Amino acid sequence: MRYPRWSNLATLVLLAAAVLLAACSSSTASIEQVSATPTAAPTEVPSGRGAGGTLRLLHWQAPDILNPHLAPANKDLEVSRIVYEPLASFDADNNMVLFLAAEEPTLDNGLVAPDGKSVTWKLKRDVKWSDGEPFTADDVLFTYQYITNKAVNSPSQPLYEAIDTVEAIDSFTVKINFREVNPAWAIPFVGIQGVILPRHIFENYNGANARQAPANFMPVGTGPYMITPDGIKPQEVLFLGTDLIQTVKIVFVPNPYFREADKPYFSRVELKGGGTVNEAARSVLKAGEDDFGFNLQIEPEVLDELATGGKGHVVANFGARVEQIVINQTDPRRETPDGELSSVKFSHPIFSDKRVRQAIAYAIERQAIAALYGSTGQATSNNLVAPTNYVSPHQFYEYNPDMAKQLLDEAGWVDTNGDSIREKDGQPLHLNSHATVSSLQKQSQQIIQRNLRAIGIDLEVNLFDASTYFGDAATNPASVFQFQADLESLDISSESPDPGSYMRFWICDQIPQKANGWSGINLGRWCNRQYDELFRQASTEIDPDKRRELFIQMNDLQVEDVAMIPLVHLARVSGVSNTIDGLNPTPWDGDVWNIKDWTRSTNDN
């Protein structure tokens, strides 16, 4: 990572304590205001719980569930974060920020074990759940038991695999014991996927009935706000293309037991979910009808026009988010006896030839796609893009349509009938792709279609509303997890400055399948034993230089083997009212991670 070599075990373990904390200063994480009218500071810092009226949040990607450990996508995690808290998180400068923890673990204070195989967390003593019950170490222990219960089938489970046991030493002390030396000890219970659940609320739903818990929609947390009894309340129904979309409204009020007496500032938080990204941007930036718009990935010229002379500004937050084309390594058209498509039992009949995958990678104009995002997107050929010291110096598959055509020729795909589409054994080279219905994705897919057509591949594009595309795979065949297509486009992001939590997504046992309830985020079903071995080594390697090289090798192996095609390093883009102060965005947590500090000034310029 970011430190000198160490020559003995004791100092290697010191490194384990430092990996995620003091030594992350070289990350690319940054906050950039794009087309922004600066928010003037209020003349007096407002204070007082509930003094600030109503805060209006707009999420055009509506949440489906408010249990972060059952959440399928960031749209759900983000909303859950208003209520729930982790032990700690990381700010944009990679400094640890404490939430439920009372003290940052280090080797010096004895909370990181000298052998690198455990970490002890001291908990705050003045914390209560929003129903008045005390928060204790037993809740942390239960959260671990819940996440790792196979019957629960939690998407968070992979982040906790390094743990051997969790012990509640006393009511305010938790010890986490790892199976091996763990340089990434600050991944479990940290950040947006590290939030703690209350035992007394979820204990009766710690099993196959996990998705029936009322608290999945009526959460009880330790955060600054709590949900009102209405829960997720349906609103109007919209037609978006051929999809019928139910919009929702969620109302939050201050948690009366929140430990900071003068926070949160707002008396009410109203969150609207559903609709279109363009309407969300207009409502926040131009009309001032809402205070915050989540994930505004639309054309930069549209954002510029809306923000100019309007009521809000744009915040672009670069972290480790990458838009990519996921390539299905399995057959999306062949069924197993129980009706499963894209099963690992059947390899893809076209993509099993690496030359075809390589041809597609050479054919894509990354710069043209990145240009769609303006200053909020940068073309990349890497999957691992942050922190910067983990970024591979090697380049693969630069735009070269001639090389793409040569590879297809070598693979036996040629145009024999003059219709400009290649065939092999009488089969036309026809593929289909899935993406969201957003305007930027539409344009991106048009570029990809054009690029592939130029080398003799016919691509059919199917667009879905985000709530469908990232919805529950168990009931939704259009979900990215079922992947009933040849290609799918989406962005994937790391939520930790340690790359381990992100690069874990592509190990073999993270392939979503019917047998595991579609859990795991290895969407392309790419299984490479060499990659798995590199990941295993990185999981226990203490030497920073060696560990960095392992992650770079993993990135290069993914990209060279065309497990996916990275396209654009994306910023997380938000729209913010000019009257809202206190935001402190970080790429390693949700946008609302510090919502307790948000206030409203009288400035509106």
pLDDT tens digits for range 392-423? 999 999 999 999 999 999 999 999 999 999 99
User: Angle at the Cα of 193 (from 380 to 317), degrees rounded to 5?
Assistant: 40
d(CA 261, CA 428): 67
Please determine, for residue 98, whether its predicted confidence score (pLDDT) is greater than 90: yes
Please determine, for residue 231, whether its predicted confidence score (pLDDT) is greater than 80: no
Instruction: Name the pLDDT band for 474 (thresholds 50, 70, 90).
Output: confident
* 306-360 confidence digits (pLDDT tens): 988 789 999 998 989 999 999 999 999 999 999 999 999 999 999 999 999 999 9
* 114-168 confidence digits (pLDDT tens): 988 999 999 999 999 999 999 999 999 999 999 999 999 998 998 899 999 999 9
Mean pLDDT of 477-500: 91
CATH level 3 topology of 319-494+562-571: Dipeptide-binding Protein; domain 3 (3.10.105)
Average pLDDT, the chain: 88
Angle between helix 439-454 and 354-363 (nearest 10): 120
Residue 214 burial (CB count, 10 A): 11
Residue 429 burial (CB count, 10 A): 22
540: number of CA atoms within 13 Å, CB side?
13
* 33-88 confidence digits (pLDDT tens): 433 333 334 445 556 899 999 999 999 888 889 999 998 778 899 999 999 999 99
Please determine, for residue 21, whether its predicted confidence score (pLDDT) is greater than 90: no
Residue carrying the six token digits 């055009």: 60
End-to-end Cα spacing for the chain: 43
The dihedral region occupied by 211, where left means phi > 0, alpha psi between -120 and 50, and beta the remainder, is: alpha
51: number of CA atoms within 13 Å, CB side?
15
What are the two backbone dihedrals, phi and then psi, of residue 187, each rounded to the nearest 5 degrees?
-95, -50
Rounded CA Rg of the chain: 24
pTM score of the predicted model: 0.79
* 517-543 confidence digits (pLDDT tens): 888 889 999 999 999 999 999 998 988
The dihedral region occupied by 423, where left means phi > 0, alpha psi between -120 and 50, and beta the remainder, is: beta
The dihedral region occupied by 427, where left means phi > 0, alpha psi between -120 and 50, and beta the remainder, is: beta
Contact 303, 285 (CB under 8 A): yes
Domain parsing of the chain, residue ranges:
1-29+84-210, 319-494+562-571
Q: Which residues pair with 32 in a beta bridge?
A: 316
* 262-287 confidence digits (pLDDT tens): 999 999 999 998 888 888 999 999 99
Q: Would you say domain 1-29+84-210 falls under CATH 3.90.76.10?
A: yes
Instruction: Name the pLDDT band for 446 (thresholds 50, 70, 90).
Output: very high
Contact 204, 170 (CB under 8 A): no
Burial class (CB in 10 A: 0-12, 13-18, 19+), 578: buried
